[in-house]
Chains A and B, each alone.
Chain A
């Protein structure tokens, strides 16, 4: 199992990195906080860490760490549009319940 990007997400990530002018890829992670226990982390990567686990999806390198991977196994990162709002969405099969905001979750 792995973490993947949808084609649309990969396209947007590549675009953002190109516009930003630097970056090795993106980091997906999990932090313990938020209203349902855990929260997603989504950041650009400028320097890789030794303990990083990486995946390649549609040409984009996805960085994560072992602890986060336990919660993110099988996740697909998607890019969607909802009304005026657009952005990234975690489709995580491990999630039992999410807070209404989708920024934090419980496994």
Chain B
């Protein structure tokens, strides 16, 4: 029979309608599943009480799929059919994988994503990940006594669209309904309840078994935005073990160890590292296969000394991430520690010193990401009151429209929370213009050519009017799923045209961050370019207007005056050709002055014509 959990006030579920939802940390080395039970987030252990599930999948001779510790134990005996760290291959083609030669797997290049050849056939990383997720799902369903309505699965902040899609596909293959993919650093911040706390900038320092990631998050209005990420994909707790291992070899003067002894000493090294988290020193003893005994005393001081360079190595990406986010260490409101390796006191100390504050370490660093995902899943499954709804989605890049001269006018600025709708009025540039092209752009730069083109459409049927008289209202609307629809409507006649686009489609996080960095880097250049374009647009407008006037009322000028005006127009043309803002502006000024007298005469004539033949009483 099902056991009950305590619900939030007024939210008791009807029988058999519990909205069971879990958070899953699908890690490179280990994976976890967590849920919110009776109001508190908790990691679900397996039947032996172990929270972690090693992200290792083995395809056996008997055609079974073994996941976790049992698969890990066979890793060295059956390397070809035991897949570890499959996350590194998610959404990756063969060309993207760096050390193909060093990897024990037989890769098969497949369209879109690489595949691994095992005795169970060619397995795509999606299928291998699905096997891990399936194990977690059944653990969750056994623990919660029912079917899951959905899961929040975490992914690294730097995962691109292909990697995210691959993760979603794996979940679907495992029979999980993905409520949302959540960035790992955001999940960690949520686990610490930072989303309910003060707005500001937070750093998530994630030192796992084999990877290091650092992310800078900005919290505003309960929404986390990833400002920057950095890291080192081959730096982690294992490197600390290796330093101790090397120290053992050096101290005991050992050379050319066999595989068994190497593994034995690496295990000793890891145990020593873990012991030093609690104790000032630890004894390392091992009996090697040739009968030799290793017996050494490793103190914290020595360990700190031999691993200092590793910690310094983590601070480089930290510095880079802060620089990319354009903030200093003193601007950081809180530092969240994630990953088992952050248990080491000297790592915490170094990070604390760098930021001038004690990092957050009171949650288990191995579990914190899964816990945050569980909290998010609980909210998304509808087990929390309305007022506690989390807003999480923002527009990553501004959405704008092309205006005359190849300039981008932003309509919805980046970081607007969705859903959102903004409208702006535009007008025609030429007399009698009956159509207007609406070009939808994404990006932060001033020039159209530097932004990404999303879609184009034409509004036709604008009634002929003088330039500037038409009022065209362009509305940008992004719904909760990130779908953008753009409508253009001429206000006086009511003619309308619209289009729907997916703004984030095909744009990876890398591209997004590159576009953001570019926009900051080129800000000066862009402003200058914008000024020039605007000057040229003005100049061309003036030339067009003058030419039209000359065609209509050229007879008002004598040949001298006409020659002067033509010269001023020619002067403006050549000023435009120089592409210098100052020259263009000066020439525009000259032409505009030269036409003053002409404009006055035209005005007189127009008035005379308008008045001709009309009785004074009718005016």
A80 part of interface (Cβ distance < 8 Å)? yes
Name the residue on A nearest B42 (C-beta). Answer: A19
Query: Given that A101-B2, A103-B4 are contacting pairs, would A43 and B9 also be in contact in the complex, using a CB cutoff of 8 Å?
Result: yes
Residue contact B6 to A84, C-beta cutoff 8 Å: no
Residue contact B142 to A43, C-beta cutoff 8 Å: no
Residues of A within 8 A of B612 (CB): none
Residues of B within 8 A of A34 (CB): 14-16
Residue contact A89 to B4, C-beta cutoff 8 Å: yes
Query: Given that A33-B14, A101-B1 are contacting pairs, would A87 and B37 also be in contact in the complex, using a CB cutoff of 8 Å?
Result: yes
CA–CA, A8 and B393, complex, Å: 41
Residue contact A43 to B10, C-beta cutoff 8 Å: yes
Q: How many A-B residue pairs have CB under 8 A?
A: 99
CA–CA, A3 and B46, complex, Å: 34
Contact with B along A24-64 (1 / 0, CB 8 A): 00110101011100011111111100000000000000000
Query: Given that A44-B39, A45-B9 are contacting pairs, would A84 and B4 also be in contact in the complex, using a CB cutoff of 8 Å?
Result: no
Q: Chain A's nearest CB lies how many Å from the CB of B455?
A: 47
Residue contact B3 to A89, C-beta cutoff 8 Å: yes
Q: Chain A's nearest CB lies how many Å from the CB of B50?
A: 12
Q: Chain A's nearest CB lies how many Å from the CB of B575?
A: 69
Residue contact A84 to B7, C-beta cutoff 8 Å: no
Residues of B within 8 A of A82 (CB): 3
Q: Chain A's nearest CB lies how many Å from the CB of B115?
A: 34
Contact with A along B346-363 (1 / 0, CB 8 A): 000000000000000000
Q: Chain A's nearest CB lies how many Å from the CB of B38?
A: 4
Residue contact B8 to A84, C-beta cutoff 8 Å: no
Residue contact B39 to A20, C-beta cutoff 8 Å: yes
Query: Given that A16-B38, A87-B4, A101-B2 are contacting pairs, would A35 and B15 also be in contact in the complex, using a CB cutoff of 8 Å?
Result: yes
CA–CA, A100 and B46, complex, Å: 25
Query: Given that A100-B1, A102-B2 are contacting pairs, would A44 and B47 also be in contact in the complex, using a CB cutoff of 8 Å?
Result: no
B145 part of interface (Cβ distance < 8 Å)? yes
Residue contact A84 to B1, C-beta cutoff 8 Å: no
B12 part of interface (Cβ distance < 8 Å)? yes
A4 part of interface (Cβ distance < 8 Å)? no
CA–CA, A20 and B46, complex, Å: 25
Contact with A along B21-54 (1 / 0, CB 8 A): 0000000000000000111100011110000000
Can you sample 8 A-B contacts with CB below 8 Å? A16-B40, A20-B39, A34-B15, A42-B6, A43-B10, A44-B39, A88-B5, A103-B15
| A-B pairs, 3 with minimum CB distance | A87-B3, A102-B1, A34-B15
